[in-house]
Structure 1
Amino acid sequence: MALVDLPPELLLRVAAFLTTSELGHFRLASKHIEAVLCESFAREFFTKKQFMLEQPSLQALLDISNHPTLASRLSEVVISTHVLPPDPEIVTSTGKAMYEAGYVSHDVLMATGQALHMLSTAFSKLPNLRTVGLRDYNGLGRYRDGQSATWKSWGWSFGWDGLPTYDPNDRIGQRALMIMPPEPVLPLLFYALGQAKVLPESIHVFLRKRAKLTQQSFNILDGYLGDKIGPVLCNTKDLMLAIGSERTGYSSLLTALPTKPGVSTNAPLSRLLQCTPKLETLRLNFEQGQPAYSGFLDWLGSPIPNTQILSSGPVAGPVSLPRLTALELGMVTVSSAALFNVLTKFNLESFSLWKVQLHASSASEPEDFCYFKPVGAGEEDTPGLMSEAKHHAGPGTIMGDWLQELSKRTYIPPAEDDSDSDGRLWDVDGGLGDSDDDNNGDEDDDHDDDDEDNEADV
């Protein structure tokens, strides 16, 4: 029996054992094989794709958006902060290839607005676009090409894959791409969506490196920019952000955050959340070691007044978020009272804490220390008391069980006890993070569950 005469299910089974390169050759064997594999091929490689802000990569996005079949398949577009190495003298393989193809450099692409135009044009032609993302790493899960293979941005090997020494499976010898700061990329994506009049439901920002979003990333609501971006925010249902302190040269975001409940603020992030009335899921990963972010949570949990006070300035009063049902917080220090206000303010169905440090009281309230008995200690036992309790919760962990067990181990000294303590209640690792990650401050500590991606270079 000839290969083309095999039943469709056997052809699909054969294709499952091929590498990406072998699959490409297999699809070219005959029109019949191509027709059989078309559906599974499009689902695996064109449901979700990652691109760089480089002309060769964005041109691929444009080509997909113009394809009569693949355009409707692409539902998630991820933009990477990776960029090709600079080649000012056009002497390397990348520079020569870009020169011969007539492509401009990354700097020219951004400065001239060509990146914005290419993104908005492509977005306008993707009828089923549901999610737009930003990331600074390559996702795992490309098992077709081996356990260590990753899903790279389209075009990562541009100008390099034609060299005789090129080996796509050589992870050590692969050229390292540069990483641009993420703070200008999010406004670019919002603006491109606004220009295209496309309203995705989800905005996902997963950043594992040191650079995170800053105040400049959210300062997008005024003037002509705000007119375009407002409708995009208004339709957003799922918002995930990675927020850090300001880079050198920018004013500090921390000074713009409120320090106690009920205080209006002109913090751009607070104003941005005011524009998301349909928000259902909110994930905020902060930068570890920045306790001032607890002021933002004070604002988030502040109650809504009976009568809304209108303000002529760019201030943000308490936010209601009437549809919010899921809240996820990562790497922030906050008082238990502030967290309680946040969790009880919204009609939440679920919440997740990832490397969150809870304090027994806020800085403005009297310290009310508590301690924790070792596991297995009796009700009257007090030796070996600890000032903190840690729990690393992985997928499938029931936090309620641990909290109930912790309540039985909690010990509050009598009022006359003047024992020294730092007032800490507990450190909580929970939610959707990696269950085997026990490092604080490492590059890959961000709270995300997005390692199994569906995009590739084909």
Structure 2
Amino acid sequence: MALVQAESPPALGPDRLSRLPAELLLRITRDLTTTELCAVRLCSRALESSLRHFFLLEFFQHKQFMLTDFSLQTLLAIARHPAISQTLRHVSIGAEEFCVNSRFVPQNEDQDTSFFTAAAQQQALLASGRALHFLAAAFSLLPNLETVQLSNTPSYTQFCEGPRAAWHSYGLRSTCEQLGKGAHRLLKKSTDPDFSSRAFAMVMTALAQSDARPANIKVSMHSKVAGLKDYAFDLAPVPRLSLPGVSAGNDTDVDTLAILAGLRQLHLKLQFVLHPHRTRHIVPDDPPFSGRSKLAAMESLALHAWLAHCPKVEWLRLNLHKEPRHYNDFFLRRLGSPLPAYYPLPPGSIASRDITMPFASHLRRLDLGIACCSVDVLLDLLDRFPALEYLSLYRFSLMFEKDKAETAHNIWSKFLRALVESPLGVQLKELSLRRLGTVTRYFVYPYSKKTHTLKLNGSDGIKYTAELDKPMISWLRKIPFELIQKGSSVDADLEFFEDNSNYLGGNDTLSEHGDSELEESDTEDGF
């Protein structure tokens, strides 16, 4: 009898795996770590081709780079790649600085030498203009660039490495390994209050040189000394560089006016407020150019001129300075004020000196963080945005006067009641209130004040999203009533802290993304 040899089943090799439908292949690989996914892609050309689109979107749609030669050269190499350059839409520039004056003590002479060498190289990169050339050349080769961000914090949006895994700027890990144990402390947060302003001005100049037109500009800095000063918003034209992605023969100067004209989202961390060391106490009712408020008002003129050239902004986020929070009242009162006749506008500007917020009529979303002002100032600011639909207040304090009937508790009730009576009570789709507080209005000293932290519904924040059968106005009508009724039992709703660090501690800035990502982590932005 003839022996019949059974046919062996076909092996499930990488070629068979690559022939699976894309949906099944993504389900199989979606839980793999970066290293594991790269190993799968190396199995065969067919498998790599099947996973290429997913891989590029997952790992190259948003990238963050340090201000070092190695990291910026990598950005330029990505921009020159025919496939990856088409995918990269969100470029973050990490503001990690080699802090020479840090308290970090090197463990040995080699680490000491490596750190000071790296610090010197970074300073040379910025001072020589190499960083500007790297950025401008890379931006000129990214046709789909939508968002440019300046940040000194990692991203927590990638979950393939596990929960709470941080994605730092490209090159940060290798830099820390080279510098040795504890070196990551040197690069977390800047100690130079001017570093972020210089980096932002350089990024904006690079965008102008490259003819890039991103729709979103974001600055998210998590250090109390980090933030943009007035010179970061310079509008003066500069000579054009010769770049690969820009048409040759154009010898005209370039400026940022064309970039500002197309902005849709603008997120800024600001630092130009009257510093507490320059005065002992403030009276918010002083005239705009009195001795106490003159400096704060003049420092904000550069931003007013900058905003005057942004007619299409739909989402404005302003994080103010942490320490002199009480002095934010000057800035918020003068936000959108006309520019004085003596303030210079750049050549070719068609902006109006009288309208420094041309986007006010169609602004849909406003986020204010780490600020303090009176109820009247806040309401007057909100009245300037008739199309506002989303409002978020984070670490926001309202001033009250001890010599009047207002108390720390019902001052927020007064604000919410005013919203009911305003058009915002009908048109608001979402209201987010987190880490609310109150401070006394007069004789507020920066380091010895009593801060009242308001607890809403037993929590440090609430967020309400309006629906068809649950409009915002009906919810607002209940909130003030509940606050007033509970006002007789202050201890149940308020906590009193003598040390303002209990209220101001933690992170400084709002989330860099939309609401779906605002709740990712309090360690990233916490809005």
Q: Same fold (TM over 0.5)?
A: yes
The alignment's TM-score, normalised by the length of structure 1, stands at 0.73
Shift of residue 162, structure 1, vs aligned partner: 8.6
The alignment's TM-score, normalised by the length of structure 2, stands at 0.64
CA separation in 2, counterparts of 1:207 and 1:404? Answer: 36
1:404 equivalent in alignment to 2:477: yes
Could you say which residue in structure 2 is the equivalent of 1:76? 90
Could you say which residue in structure 2 is the equivalent of 1:311? 341
1:238 equivalent in alignment to 2:265: yes
Structure 1 residue aligned with 2:204, among 165, 187, 190?
Answer: 190
CA separation in 1, counterparts of 2:235 and 2:121? Answer: 29
Q: 1:227 to 1:107 in 2, by over 3 A?
A: same
**Alignment RMSD:** 4.3
Could you say which residue in structure 1 is the equivalent of 2:505? 442
Could you say which residue in structure 2 is the equivalent of 1:417? none
The one-character-per-residue Cα deviations of 1:296-325 (angstroms, maximum 9, x if unpaired) are 2112265x8xxxx98243496552323322
Could you say which residue in structure 1 is the equivalent of 2:174? 158
Structure 1 residue aligned with 2:321, among 287, 305, 320?
Answer: 287
CA separation in 1, counterparts of 2:465 and 2:254? Answer: 44
CA separation in 1, counterparts of 2:344 and 2:405? Answer: 38
Say whether the 8 Å CA contact 1:121–1:196 is kept in structure 2: yes
1:333 equivalent in alignment to 2:372: yes
Equivalence map 1:260-275=2 (5 Å): 265=298, 267-275=301-309
1:26 equivalent in alignment to 2:26: no
Shift of residue 3, structure 1, vs aligned partner: 3.0
Q: 1:90 to 1:328 in 2, by over 3 A?
A: same
CA separation in 1, counterparts of 2:383 and 2:167? Answer: 40
Shift of residue 360, structure 1, vs aligned partner: 5.2
Say whether the 8 Å CA contact 2:89–2:145 is kept in structure 1: yes
Say whether the 8 Å CA contact 1:286–1:332 is kept in structure 2: yes
1:3 equivalent in alignment to 2:14: yes
Could you say which residue in structure 1 is the equivalent of 2:134? 118
- Structure with greater contact order relative to length (CA < 8 Å, sep ≥ 6): 1
Equivalence map 1:116-265=2 (5 Å): 116-158=132-174, 175-178=184-187, 179-180=189-190, 181-222=195-236, 224=238, 228-244=255-271, 265=298
Say whether the 8 Å CA contact 2:400–2:408 is kept in structure 1: no
Say whether the 8 Å CA contact 1:8–1:36 is kept in structure 2: no
CA separation in 2, counterparts of 1:259 and 1:321? Answer: 27
CA separation in 2, counterparts of 1:444 and 1:188? Answer: 26
Could you say which residue in structure 2 is the equivalent of 1:435? none
Which consecutive residues of structure 1, in runs of 5 or more, have no partner in the other structure? 167-171, 374-385, 413-425, 428-437, 454-458
Could you say which residue in structure 2 is the equivalent of 1:393? 461
Q: 1:393 to 1:269 in 2, by over 3 A?
A: same
The one-character-per-residue Cα deviations of 1:191-233 (angstroms, maximum 9, x if unpaired) are 1101111111111111112222242453412464995122222
Write the letter of the residue equivalent to 1:311.
A
Task: Considering fraction of residues, name the structure with more helix.
Answer: 2
CA separation in 2, counterparts of 1:93 and 1:259? Answer: 51
CA separation in 1, counterparts of 2:285 and 2:215? Answer: 29
Q: 1:8 to 1:124 in 2, by over 3 A?
A: same
Say whether the 8 Å CA contact 2:33–2:161 is kept in structure 1: yes
Structure 1 residue aligned with 2:385, among 346, 355, 358?
Answer: 346
The one-character-per-residue Cα deviations of 1:85-106 (angstroms, maximum 9, x if unpaired) are 889x99569959x99xxxx921
The one-character-per-residue Cα deviations of 1:255-275 (angstroms, maximum 9, x if unpaired) are 9x9965799856222222122
Write the letter of the residue equivalent to 1:239.
L
1:277 equivalent in alignment to 2:316: no
CA separation in 1, counterparts of 2:274 and 2:109? Answer: 31
CA separation in 2, counterparts of 1:328 and 1:344? Answer: 15
Q: 1:441 to 1:370 in 2, by over 3 A?
A: closer
> For 1:287, what is the secondary structure of its paired residue?
coil
% identity of equivalent residues: 28
Shift of residue 285, structure 1, vs aligned partner: 0.8
Q: 1:59 to 1:371 in 2, by over 3 A?
A: closer
Shift of residue 186, structure 1, vs aligned partner: 0.8
> For 1:144, what is the secondary structure of its paired residue?
coil
CA separation in 2, counterparts of 1:60 and 1:394? Answer: 42
> For 1:149, what is the secondary structure of its paired residue?
coil
Shift of residue 183, structure 1, vs aligned partner: 2.0
> For 1:228, what is the secondary structure of its paired residue?
coil
Could you say which residue in structure 2 is the equivalent of 1:300? 335
The one-character-per-residue Cα deviations of 1:101-135 (angstroms, maximum 9, x if unpaired) are xxx92111111100000000100110110100011
Say whether the 8 Å CA contact 2:365–2:391 is kept in structure 1: yes
Say whether the 8 Å CA contact 1:94–1:158 is kept in structure 2: no
> For 1:150, what is the secondary structure of its paired residue?
coil
CA separation in 2, counterparts of 1:32 and 1:150? Answer: 31
CA separation in 2, counterparts of 1:94 and 1:141? Answer: 35
Q: 1:261 to 1:400 in 2, by over 3 A?
A: farther
Q: How many residues align?
A: 395
